[in-house]
Chains A and B, each alone.
Chain A
Amino acid sequence: MLSIDFRQIAIVAGKEFWDRIRNRWVLAVALVFTAFALVIAYFGAAQQGAVGFRSIEVTIASLVSLVIYLIPLIALILGFDAVVGERERGSLDLLLTLPITRRELILGKYTGLAAALAFSTIAGFGAVGLILSPQLNLTALFHYAGFMFSAILLGLAFLSLAVMLSVFASDRTRASGLAIGTWFFFVLVFDLLILGMLVVTAGDYGGAVFPYLLLLNPADVFRVLNVFTLDEVRTLYGLATVFPEALSSPTILGGVMLAWIVGPLAIAIWRFER
Chain B
Amino acid sequence: MASTIVEARGVTKDFGTVQAVRGVDLSIAPGELFGLIGHNGAGKSTLFKMMLGLIPITSGEIRLDGEPVNGPRFRETRRKIGYLPENVVLYDNLTGLETLYFFADLKAVPRRECAGLLDKVGLSHAAGRRVREYSKGMRQRLGFAQALLGTPRLLFLDEPTTGLDPGAIRDFYRILRELKGEGVTMVLTSHILAEIQERVDRLAVMEGGLIRATGTVQALREAMNLPLTLEIAGGAGLAEQVGRVLEGIAIESIEEAGSVLHICLPREAKMPALARLATLGDTMRDLRVREPSLEDVFFGYRNG
Residues of A within 8 A of B (CB): 2, 7-8, 11-12, 15, 19, 22-23, 89-91, 93-101
Cβ-based interface call for B108 (8 A): yes
Which of these, B79, B89, B107, contacts A91 with CB under 8 Å? B89
Count A-B contacts at CB 8 Å.
60
Q: Give the residues in chain B near A23, CB-CB below 8 Å.
A: 93
Shortest Cβ gap from B5 to chain A (Å): 16
Q: For the complex, what is the distance from the CA of A15 to the CA of B98, rounded to whole Å? A: 10
The stretch of B48-56, B201-209, B271-279 that contacts the partner chain:
B48-56
B73 (CB) vs chain A CBs: closest residue:
A2
- Enumerate chain A residues within 8 angstroms of B61, measured Cβ to Cβ: none
| Closest A residue by C-beta to B156 | A97
- Min C-beta distance of B157 to chain A, whole Å: 12
Contact between A94 and B85, CB atoms less than 8 A apart: yes
B54 near A98 with CB under 8 A, answer: no
Q: For A15, what are the chain B residues with a Cβ–Cβ distance below 8 Å? A: 102
A97 touches B107 (CB 8 A): no
Cβ-defined contact, B93 with A2, below 8 A: no
A22-B93, A90-B89 as given contacts; A98 in contact with B106, CB under 8 Å: yes
The answer for the CA separation of A214 and B211 in the assembled complex, in Å, is 59
Contacts of B269 in A (CB 8 A): none
Do A93 and B54 touch across chains, with their CB atoms under 8 A apart? yes
B93 touching A94, Cβ below 8 Å:
no
The reply to whether the CB of B81 lies closer than 8 angstroms to some CB of chain A is yes
Task: Say whether A97 contacts B54, CB under 8 Å.
Answer: yes
- The list of the 9 closest CB pairs from A to B, nearest first, reads A89-B89, A97-B83, A99-B78, A11-B105, A98-B106, A90-B88, A97-B52, A99-B75, A93-B85
- Specify which of A2, A11, A19, A22 is in contact with B75 (CB 8 Å cutoff): A2
Known: A22-B93, A98-B107. 17 other contacts (CB 8 A): A2-B75, A11-B102, A19-B91, A23-B93, A89-B89, A90-B85, A90-B89, A91-B89, A94-B146, A96-B54, A97-B52, A97-B53, A97-B54, A97-B83, A99-B79, A99-B106, A101-B75
